[in-house]
Amino acid sequence: MFQQTARAALTLALVFASAASATRAGAPIGPPMLGSWLYGTVSSTEYYDRTTNRWQDASGASEILTLTADGHYERTRLLTLTTYNCTSKLFIYEKGTARIEGNTISYQPQEGVNKGYTCTPSNSWNTSKINPETWTFRFERQANGQDVLVLKGEQSELHYGRYKR
């Protein structure tokens, strides 16, 4: 009787372990999606505003997206915007699993950080809550033969080139 109970407990533990690892693993991702992609630019330097005679923070938006063959992803996003005397910054880092079905990609974050401020660092926030997202995608080719990954959301369309470190 003890052996049957122990065997049943072991079987149940294996089922739960298998289910838990299945939720952590992503669906396989193949070419041409594999690898790292870059959207946008952010200047790394300030600029001098002749209108106000003051140095201003840089502005821009950037994202680096990396997709791995085992269905995992990593995204690093930065937005910095300066308007008159107000500089706002947003930084989002996340990693988790990605799922591709047809021409959609869904991100299921497992960890990350979302932090930034509006106009002054004293108006800051910092949270680890990152929401899942789903985008449609397509590929285009530049005149120089380079692939472009185009992600389309409800209100935006982003064009990514291959990211080379």
The span from the CA of 152 to the CA of 104, in Å, is 9
Percent of the chain with pLDDT over 70: 79
Please report whether residue 97 resides in a domain.
yes
Please report whether residue 4 resides in a domain.
no
Q: Within 10 A of 19 (CB to CB), how many other CB atoms are there?
A: 9
Please report whether residue 152 resides in a domain.
yes
Please report whether residue 76 resides in a domain.
yes
Any idea of the CA torsion for 7, 10, 12, 17, to the nearest 10 degrees?
-160
Please report whether residue 132 resides in a domain.
yes
Inter-CA distances, 138 with 91, 100, 108, 160, Å:
26, 12, 20, 11
pLDDT digits (tens, 9 = 90+) for 73-127: 999 999 988 877 788 999 999 999 999 999 999 999 999 999 999 998 899 999 9
pLDDT value for 45 = 65
- Which of residues 24 and 131 earns the better pLDDT score? 131
pLDDT digits (tens, 9 = 90+) for 15-73: 323 333 334 556 788 888 999 999 997 666 667 778 878 776 667 899 999 999 999 99
The span from the CA of 92 to the CA of 109, in Å, is 12
Percent of the chain with pLDDT over 90: 59
**pTM score of the predicted model:** 0.75
pLDDT value for 41 = 78
Number of domains forming the structure of the chain: 1
Helix (H, G, I), strand (E, B) or coil at 138: strand
Mean pLDDT of the chain: 81
Please report whether residue 13 resides in a domain.
no
pLDDT digits (tens, 9 = 90+) for 70-85: 999 999 999 988 877 7
Please report whether residue 57 resides in a domain.
yes
At which residue do the structure tokens 């630019």 appear? 41
Q: For residue 5, is pLDDT > 70?
A: no
Please report whether residue 80 resides in a domain.
yes
Q: Are 160 and 37 in contact, with CB atoms under 8 Å apart?
A: yes
Give the range of the structural domain holding residue 111, as residue numbers without chain letter: 28-162
The span from the CA of 141 to the CA of 102, in Å, is 20
Which residues are CB-neighbours of 39 under 8 A, at least 6 positions away? 61, 62, 63, 65, 158, 159, 160
At which residue do the structure tokens 């397509």 appear? 138
